[in-house]
Structure 1
Amino acid sequence: MTNRTLACVFAHPDDDAYGVGGSVALHANDPDFRFVLVHATFGEQGDIRDGFPATRHTLGSIRRAEDEAAWRAHGRVPDRHEWLGLPDGGLAEVPFDDVVAAVARILDEEDPAVVVTFGPDGIFGHPDHVAIGAATDEAFARLRRRDRSGFQRLAHGAVPQTVFERWNRQRAELGLFTFDPTQTYHMRGVPDEQIRVTVDCRAVAHRTVAGLREHRSQLHVMSDDPTNTSQWERRLGREWYAIAWPELDGDVPMLTDLFDGLE
């Protein structure tokens, strides 16, 4: 048996919709592949658009059901899906060691070869993203040992700076609002040299889009035009990751898969 367990730790339902769907689809038929998904919150503080049948009281359960339906539509449901039930919008106020312990308990049981979470940028600078990413990094560091087959790589989902700038230019040309990376909740990129994994997901992008469409309560937040399937598939043709551990030499070629080069 080869350790091909991937553990993904995110803050909200739909954070996973963009981040790892392509990588999961590419390994869907690998008999050694195990997919573990952890959500810190139910997303109960998310936006409720006019006319959508949700209340502040019901939105969390709706979004949890949407996320589970999304993976069924994608075609590769998690082998284990954990919901920590921490407060949406308040992760940074939860004692850090409590969040670390909650994540570490699951990671310790699963011994994943690769762990994916948010980096310090949080992709959108969202405090919940930053908080769960930092807690997952710490849990990884505490659990990593030589006598384990797991914990071989810690990856942060990210957007290369040049890609972010190109997307922003295209948005401006189309008359859409542009992201200001100095503002919270606005997308931001990371320096291109920090990107060490680029996954070509074009062949499976339709599966990620099928999952995205199940997040009905948040479609207005996730896309300017949820009906434009081809635009979504183009946007989801690549997934990018920075490697937080182990440090890679600068002359190591770009990896093309989360498991590239692992034992």
Structure 2
Amino acid sequence: MTTSLTDVRALGTLLGVWAHPDDEAYLSAGLMAAARDAGSRVVCVTATRGEQGTADPVAWPPDALAAERTRELDRSLEVLGVVEHAWLGYADGGCDAVPAEEAVATLCAALEAVRPDTVLTFGPDGLTGHPDHRAVGRWTAAAVERAAPAGTRLLQAAFPARRVRRWSALDAELGVYLPGFPVVVPEDRLAVDLALDERYTARKVAALRAQATQTAGLIDAMGPDVYADWVAEETFVERPRRRLQAPAPAGAGAALTAG
């Protein structure tokens, strides 16, 4: 089990596949920053630009919000030292409608190009239950089965039981999770169980602050100290490889969009 930031080097090249800008920061900013500090390659892929991520669509119409969240993600990744990022180009809230074979083929091409040692993404529950999260988790798992190099680890974001005890009331107040979520896992199932130290927590918070359309109000409401505690853990379970499907043809799928 990876329990220390000094262990992150052993994860090798990281490829994170996420649904919206800020997913990567909330779930893996500490991992990414520590990996970059250790000299490891880190590549981030984001399915959508998060253009529906506002409670005020008059102030933030989709095109304007997509453009702003693109800039925010660039700044956030810069804080973490991540210089390789690509977009899948799908509509926010529409991942369920994307032909799965198309998305899987595109991710197979990414896996063949990056050849990661470790892939980070959502589990089948999407952590929060969001349909986009769940779709991205399914695509990534299928692509890893088909195209990832032998030995590649697939790590899926997980919600450990101890967070229920500490944060369930606040999570319910914030409406973070859809009804019936999160799916709680016991700590002994975790493959990565990181408590970020003060330095990496501060860096993670800085990366999240860079995505102000999504985080500024929340940080103000919670207060910076509670918010920092709330985001100071990163936890993943490992999905065993099955290799049930034949590899996708080389170059299949639409090209990734850099950005």
Instruction: Please indicate the TM-score interval, normalised by the length of the shorter structure.
Output: 0.7 to 0.9
Within-5 A mapping of 1:1-263: 4-31=12-39, 33-49=40-56, 52=59, 54-72=60-78, 74-78=79-83, 80-146=84-150, 151-169=151-169, 171=170, 177=173, 183=179, 188-192=182-186, 193-203=188-198, 204-219=200-215, 223=218, 225=220, 228-246=223-241
- Where structure 1 has 5 or more consecutive residues not aligned to the other structure, the ranges are 248-263
Percentage identity across aligned positions?
A: 31
Q: Secondary structure at 1:84's aligned position in 2? A: strand
**Structure holding more helix per residue:** 2
Question: How far did 1:51 drift?
Answer: 8.3
**Aligned AA for 1:70?**
S
Scaled by the length of structure 2, the TM-score of the pair is 0.80
1:155–1:245 Cα contact (<8 Å) kept: no
Amino acid at match of 2:141: D
**1:99/1:246 CA distance change after superposition, 3 Å:** closer
Q: In structure 2, do the counterparts of structure 1 residues 179 and 58 end up closer, same or farther at CA, with 3 Å as the change threshold?
A: closer
SS at match of 1:124: coil
Q: What are structure 2's unaligned runs of at least 5 residues?
A: 1-9, 243-259
Evaluate the alpha carbon distance shift between residue 219 and residue 29 of structure 1 in structure 2; reply closer, same or farther with a 3 A threshold.
closer
* TM-score with structure 1 setting the length: 0.79
Cα shift at 1:212: 0.7
Query: How many residues are treated as equivalent by the alignment?
Result: 231
